[in-house]
């Protein structure tokens, strides 16, 4: 419970540093970060990225993270469906972890704006 509260608190502090824009026609979420963040297998530099379900009609649990111009795929992963945590505003699109010792914070969940279901990323320890 304490860890979840710490994640939500970190997310609330981080939310002031990015913007979001949704594209309802292709279910893509454009998220702009003011500082580096981590996703499984990659670190995203400050900038705008696309978070999307690979094909919401057939493979709704496969998610992708791409560059804004779609020229680079940073992640394609089977993600776990999750419900939006209580207390997270409907327009908040990411939940992040605390920043460990100067490392970029990890994005642990993402949601389309105004939706109750989202996706949890799975990080593998080495």
- pLDDT for 22 equals 47
- pLDDT for 65 equals 96
3-class DSSP assignment, residue 10? helix
Chain mean position to CA 43: 12
Token pair recorded at residue 115: 């939706």
pLDDT tens track for 41-80: 999 999 999 999 876 666 568 899 999 999 999 999 999 9
- pLDDT for 2 equals 39
- pLDDT for 58 equals 67
Tell me which residue of 96, 101, 99, 60 sits closest to 80, measured CA to CA.
60
Token pair recorded at residue 23: 């594209």
Q: Is the pLDDT of residue 11 over 50?
A: no
Tell me which residue of 17, 59, 64, 22 sits closest to 40, measured CA to CA.
64
Helices (H), the chain: 2-14
**This prediction's pTM:** 0.76
**111-126 average pLDDT score:** 84
Token pair recorded at residue 33: 């970060």
- pLDDT for 41 equals 93
In sequence order, what are the residues at sequence separation of 6 or more whose Cβ sits closer than 8 angstroms to the Cβ of residue 87?
8
Q: Cα(93)–Cα(78) distance, rounded to whole angstroms?
A: 18
Domain positions in the chain are 2-120
Are 117 and 83 in contact by the 8 Å Cβ rule? The answer is yes
């Amino acid at each position: 419970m304490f860890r979840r509260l710490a994640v939500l608190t970190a997310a609330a502090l981080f939310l002031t540093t990015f913007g979001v824009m949704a594209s309802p026609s292709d279910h893509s979420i454009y998220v702009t970060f003011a500082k580096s963040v981590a996703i499984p297998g990659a670190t995203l530099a400050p900038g705008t990225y696309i978070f999307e379900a690979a094909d919401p009609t057939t493979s709704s649990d496969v998610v992708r993270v791409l560059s804004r111009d779609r020229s680079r795929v940073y992640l394609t992963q089977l993600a776990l469906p999750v419900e939006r945590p209580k207390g997270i505003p409907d327009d908040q699109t990411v939940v992040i972890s605390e920043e460990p010792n100067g490392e970029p914070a990890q994005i642990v969940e993402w949601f389309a704006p105004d939706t109750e279901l989202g996706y949890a990323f799975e990080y593998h320890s080495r």
